[in-house]
């Protein structure tokens, strides 16, 4: 796994229009872990891609009527089987965090990389996801020197009034063990 011109190789690449320029491309200093499934609890559907590319149709599922007009994206999605898709180059600001704050800094999209794990905050994630996540984070830390193990957080930590992901079943200890093993 490598980063070439702010794109992860060999990730599947799909350009999301839901991004813009960062205020400071050199200030990539936070990794935010999210989870997503569309519809809730269903995996390996085309709907995450459709959401991140503004093609999600309200009539596809009753749950989509409120989210189909959203303009959101994450840099990366890691599916249950470990497949990685990148939607936004790392030097761009993906629209994943919303109203957020980390260690006194607001607007986390400005300085973070958003990683979505296909899942729900109420079920465990897969070993393939942890393996890919750990390798990805190491790769990111090599490419972006302000990133560190200490600056990895969950969406729930930067937006606690609004978000619960990645949830109680995300094994932070496993992630940190995996990251330290490959250090």
Query: Residue 182: its pLDDT value, please?
Result: 59
Model confidence at 183: pLDDT above 90: no
Residue 109 lies in a domain: yes
Strands (E), the chain: 2-4, 7-9, 12-13, 19-21, 30-36, 76-78, 84-86, 92-94, 101-102, 105-106, 112-118, 152-154
47 part of a folded domain: no
62 found inside a domain? no
Catalytic residue among 71, 116, 118, 135: 116
Is residue 54 in some structural domain?
Answer: no
Give the Cα separation of 66 and 58 in Å (integer). Answer: 8
- 60 inside domain: no
pLDDT of residue 17: 98
The secondary structure of 141-174 as a DSSP string is HHHSTT--GGGEEEHHHHSTTT--TT-TTS-HHH
Query: Per residue in 111-141, pLDDT tens?
Result: 999 999 999 999 999 999 999 999 999 999 9
Report residue 37 as tokens.
């499934």
pLDDT of residue 61: 97
Q: 17-51 pLDDT, tens per residue? A: 999 999 999 999 999 999 999 999 999 999 999 99
- Does 64 reside within a domain? no
Structure-model confidence comparison of residues 20 and 182, the more confident one? 20
Residue 163 lies in a domain: yes
User: Average of pLDDT values for 78-82?
Assistant: 98
For the chain, how big is the Rg over CA atoms in Å?
15
pLDDT at residue 79 is higher than 80: yes
* 126 located within any domain: yes
Instruction: Classify strands 12-13 and 105-106 as parallel, antiparallel or unpaired.
Output: unpaired
Establish whether 116 is a catalytic residue.
Answer: yes
Q: What is the pLDDT of residues 5-20, one digit of tens each?
A: 999 999 999 999 999 9
CATH number for the domain spanning 11: value is 3.40.80.10
User: Cα dihedral angle (143, 152, 49, 87), rounded to 10 degrees?
Assistant: -20
Structural domain for 98, as ranges:
2-36+74-181
Report the number of distinct structural domains present in the chain.
1
pLDDT category at 181 given cuts 50, 70, 90 is confident
Phi-psi label, residue 30: left if phi above 0, alpha if psi -120 to 50, beta otherwise: beta
- CA–CA dist 163, 173 (Å, integer): 21
């Amino acid at each position: 796994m490598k980063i070439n011109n702010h794109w992860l190789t060999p990730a599947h690449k799909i350009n999301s229009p839901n991004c813009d320029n960062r205020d400071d491309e050199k200030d990539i200093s936070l990794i935010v872990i999210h989870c997503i499934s569309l519809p809730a609890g269903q995996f390996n559907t085309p709907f995450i891609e459709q959401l991140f590319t503004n093609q999600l149709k309200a009539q596809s599922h009753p749950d989509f009527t409120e989210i189909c007009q959203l303009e959101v994206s994450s840099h990366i999605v890691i599916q249950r089987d470990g497949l990685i898709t990148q939607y936004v180059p790392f030097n761009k600001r993906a629209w994943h965090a919303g109203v957020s704050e980390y260690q006194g800094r607001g607007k986390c999209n400005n300085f973070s990389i958003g990683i979505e794990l296909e899942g729900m905050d109420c079920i465990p994630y897969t070993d393939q996801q942890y393996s890919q996540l750990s390798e990805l984070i190491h790769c990111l830390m090599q490419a972006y020197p302000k990133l560190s193990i200490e600056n990895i957080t969950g969406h729930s930590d930067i937006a606690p009034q609004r978000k619960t992901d990645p949830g109680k079943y995300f094994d932070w200890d496993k992630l940190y063990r995996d990251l330290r093993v490959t250090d």
